[in-house]
Amino acid sequence: MARSPIPALQVRLAAMRTSSRNRLFAVVGIAAFASAVGVVAPSSLAFDGSAQTAATTDKTTPLQIFKNPQAALRAGLEDFKSGNSRSGLEALKYAAAGGESLARWKLAKMYADGDGVPHDDIKAYEYFSQIVQDYDEDNPDPRELPVVSSAFVALGAYSLNGIANTKVTPDPLRALAMFQYAATNFGDPNAQYDLARMYLDGNGVGKDPAQAARWLHLAAEKNHAEAQALLGQLLFTGRDGVPRQRGLGLMYLTLARDTAVQNKKDPWIVDLYNSAAAAATDNDKEIAQLYITDYKKKHD
C-alpha cells in the first residue's frame, strides 16, 4: 500500500523549518513534463487489468474498450491531441479510476480551468487529493514527481483560500504544510514562491521577511518571474531582516520585467520595476547591469 505523507506533514513541519537551511533542493524537470502531458504517456506502471469498457456521454457511440488504465491513458492523450475531446475525457476518467496519476492531474487541471468541461473546483480538488493520497514517499516513482509536486501546490492553494460554499474551508496551516513539503522535497519553485508569500503576509505563520527572501531566492534562481519581482522589491527597499541591496534588487526586477513583457502578463511586475527604476541612481543601474551579465552567464 502506498503511504501518503499527509498525516506526517504537521509533525515534520517544525523540524523542516530548522533544518531546511542545510537541505539540497532538487529541481524538477517541469518543462519536459509539460511537453509530455499533452503528447506522450509515461512508461507503464505494474498494473494489470482485465478488459473493461469506458462509458461515453453519447449512447449511440460504440463503447471504447481498454486493456488496462495505462492503455486508457494513452488513448485519452491521443484523443485530445487529435481533437476528440469527448472520448478523450472518458478515457482519462477510466485511467484515473485505475490509479493513473497523470490522468488524475490532467482531469484536475481541466476542471480547475474549465477547459473542455464545466468549471468545478471540487472535482479538481478531489483529483489532486487522489494523487497526493496515493503518493508513496518511501518508494517514489521519479517519473511521477512533477505530477505529485504540482498536486501538492494546487492543494495548498485550495487550502489557503478555500472553495466557496463547499466543505473545503480556508486552512492556512494545511496550506503551509503543503507548500513546505513541495518546496523542500521537490524543490518546486511555485511552492517556494507561495511559501514566501505566506511569510511575507503573515498568513498562517508569523511575518518573517528574511525567511520569505530565502524562499524567493530559491525560486528566483529557477527563473520564476513572480519570485524575482518580489525578491527584487525586498532587496531594493530593504525590510526587517533583509538588508538593502539596491543593485541586486534592480537586477531581479529587471529579469522579472523582461519576462512579464515577453509573456504579456503580470503587469504588476512591470509596475514594481518602473517604481524601482525611477528611484534608482546611475550607480544602482550600473551595478544591476553587472549582476545581470553574471546571472545570464550562469544560467545560459
Return d(Cα 129, Cα 165) in angstroms, integer. Answer: 19
Bridge partners of 6, per DSSP, are none
b/e map of 130-146 (b: 16 or more CB within 10 Å)?
Answer: bbbebbeeeeeeeebbb
Give the CB-side neighbour count of residue 83, counting CA atoms within 13 A: 0
What are the E-state strand segments in the chain? 52-54, 64-66
Residue among 122, 113, 133 nearest 168 (CA): 122
Check: CB of residue 124 under 8 Å from CB of residue 166: no
Q: Along the 300 residues of the chain, how does pLDDT read in single tens digits?
A: 444 454 444 434 434 333 333 332 333 333 333 333 333 333 333 323 333 333 333 444 445 778 899 999 999 999 999 998 889 999 999 999 999 999 999 999 999 999 999 999 999 999 999 999 999 999 999 999 999 999 999 999 999 999 999 999 999 999 999 999 999 999 999 999 999 999 999 998 999 999 999 999 999 999 999 999 999 999 999 988 899 999 999 999 999 999 999 999 999 999 999 999 999 999 999 999 999 999 999 988
At residue 157, the pLDDT reads 97
Instruction: Give SS3 for 64.
Output: strand
How much is the pTM? 0.77
Tell me the C-alpha to C-alpha distance, in Å, between residue 295 and each of 50, 164, 196, 246, 261: 54, 43, 22, 16, 19
The DSSP result for 149-186, as a single string, is: HHHHHHHHHHHHH--TTSS----HHHHHHHHHHHHHHS
**Selection from 117, 118, 76 nearest residue 96 by Cα:** 76
Cα–Cα distance list, 102 to 146, 190, 217, 263 (Å): 10, 19, 30, 27
Quick one: which of 73, 65, 70 has its CA closest to 89?
Answer: 73
pLDDT, position 65: 78
d(CA 240, CA 234): 10
Instruction: Measure the CA–CA gap between 128 and 148, rounded to whole angstroms.
Output: 8
Q: What is the pLDDT of residue 33?
A: 36
